[in-house]
């Protein structure tokens, strides 16, 4: 009797449930084939099919939340200067300390609109 043992519980994520519905809509698909493909029981597939409207709504709702908006740096030029400084210091094998960064910021970024954050100014990064 060789039959695959399925895990006792299988959880399908929202995208997978939507994929189940898409697979069921294809000609020639059956509950058994879909259940085997996803490693769940036929009853789970039946329940997903029965609640297909809720599954599709949830997929749309969750899909839109995952979109990310690229945020540009407020002080892009200053950020590039600081990153270059950090890269140079790390190439020399030194550890970047709070006072070192504070001194660099005072010297190099004094002319820009950039302001030193309160933790850096108060020496919390030492």
Structurally, how many domains does the chain consist of?
2
- Residues whose CB falls within 8 Å of the CB of residue 52, separated by 6 or more in sequence, listed in order: 21
pLDDT of residue 124: 55
Domain hosting 23: range is 14-65
Shared-domain flag, residues 18 and 60:
yes
Q: What is the pLDDT of residues 37-90, one digit of tens each?
A: 988 889 999 999 999 899 888 888 776 655 667 777 777 787 888 889 999 999
CB 98 within 8 A of CB 56: no
40 exposure class (CB count in 10 Å sphere: 0-12, 13-18, 19+): buried
Flag whether 34 is in a domain: yes
> Which one has a higher pLDDT value, 4 or 126?
4
Flag whether 38 is in a domain: yes
Mean pLDDT to the nearest integer, 28-38: 90
């Amino acid at each position: 009797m060789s039959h695959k043992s399925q895990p006792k519980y299988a959880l399908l994520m929202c995208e997978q449930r939507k994929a189940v519905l898409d697979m069921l809509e294809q000609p020639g698909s059956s509950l058994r084939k879909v259940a085997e493909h996803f490693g769940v029981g036929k009853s789970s597939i039946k329940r997903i099919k029965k609640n297909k409207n809720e599954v599709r709504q949830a997929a749309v709702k969750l899909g839109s939340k995952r979109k990310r908006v690229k945020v540009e740096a407020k002080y892009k030029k200053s950020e590039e200067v600081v990153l270059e400084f950090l890269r140079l210091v790390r190439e020399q094998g030194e550890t970047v300390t709070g006072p070192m960064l504070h001194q660099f910021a005072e010297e190099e970024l004094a002319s820009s609109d950039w302001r030193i954050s309160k933790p850096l100014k108060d020496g919390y990064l030492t």
